[in-house]
Chains A and B, each alone.
Chain A
Amino acid sequence: MTSTRMDEKLDEMKLSLLEERCGQELKLHRRREQADDRFCLEIFRRAIVGREDEAWIALQQRFSELVRIWLRSHPSCDIALQRDSEENYVALTFSRFWYAVREQQLEFQTLNAALSYLHATLNGVVMDILRSHLRSRTMPLSDPGFPDEPAVEEQFGAEETWQIILSLLVDEREKRVAYLLYYCGLKPREIVARRPEEYPDVKEVYRLNCNIVERLRRNRDRLRWLLGDGEV
């Protein structure tokens, strides 16, 4: 074990020594023993605030195994790993973490705060993948009549798309149903179950949805990028 003089300034310590001390303190954390977070936090500080490449590499090396273990214990790990590799999730987590902390100029005061943020990033990355899984599940990849249709966002911003749809729907209840069905992905019966005071009868949700589809299809010239050219 390398000894560290207590009066040695953290910001002057060699990175390799910081890494070693950080590893030792992490072991203490795992044993639920009192640990000194300053060494790990100094690596975070140099990587994020100081933007030192070597510190960023050291941070990833030190904590990527932890991210991997969190991923393996994630309740949606199996589904997530069908979409991408473990290595890519770890890399994506550090990448998203880097952009977020850099944008907000975060300087963590405790190791718990830093690791909570890193864990939150991983959890978000996995959940975003699950969202895209749910989005693609309903639509065959090569739909006859709509081959290689670009995503809406490629031509119009998501918010702009929503505003166009809203402008075509005259009734507030239609707008609400369109939002709950298409944007939130609720089924008509789920809408009735979750919003019984607004929509007590599933038949009404079906009727409103028929009206919405008819209205959108009548305006397909304005929504070609959304509904395509195909006629059924």
Chain B
Amino acid sequence: MFYRFRVSFILPVTALILSPLAVAQNQRPQQPAPAKESKTGASTGQKSTAVPPHDISGTWEPANGPQDGVQADGVKAMPNDNKPQHQLPYTPYGEQVFKSHHALEGANAVLPGFYDDPRDKCEPLGFPRMNFYNLRETQILQTPYKIVMLYQYSTTWRVIWTDGRELPKLVDGGVLVNKEIKEPRFYGYSVGKWVDDTTLVIDTIGMMGEDKVWLDTAGRPISDQLHVQETLHRVDRDHLEWSVTIDDPKMYTKPWVAMNKFPMKLEDPHRDVMEQYCSPSEMERYNKLFGEPSSGPAGHAPER
């Protein structure tokens, strides 16, 4: 009697205790439990080897130091430095648009008073320039349906859908999403697919045209026909490689690699990332006190 009671009591209780775990596992097949050890490698002296499958979540920063992702002279793999190997395959129209941009950095930089980078009007940088200017600490969050990237510069985010949906199609007048024509976006429409346990490929289309955004700080152009493909490969637990290919038939005669296995390293999950914003009022004050007088001829003293 007592034995039967014990079995009949223990079984349901055990089932109750374990059932939330089973449900949780079923609902989140791609979400491994977060690592309990917050600091590996340097703090423990142990080399990290375990790579969680289908997981790039975490706070990442450039592995070669915080300035490595600034890319002031243009995209990391192809800076505008006049070297023959860094010449981009412009179409005639692409070259024309490039020459119409007046960049402050790179080999074609103009004098400080004559540049027109939309960055300094605090316009949205847009995608993919977010990857090519001030790529600093980047927080990546995952759900079963999407990956969200929180960029430090401009405190900007973008969403990459991983729920199996198809990449929208470019059509006349916009972007075809579920039989509906939608507007182009500064950060486009992104879909990600895991090609193996540690490699995510993201395709993005539907970005703003050449009148709104630049590709990089050297003033390279992109158009609304742009297709960006990113590959994020988690090399080991603490390291990620980020590659970006640009395919824009309106601006370039062939696809080219703008970022090639750019190394990122995992930060402490407790790290509180600082804001880096563009404030029109701060920009105005900076230009009035320092930017304009330092760029102009002698004798134009700033107002005090």
Question: Do the two chains bind?
Answer: no
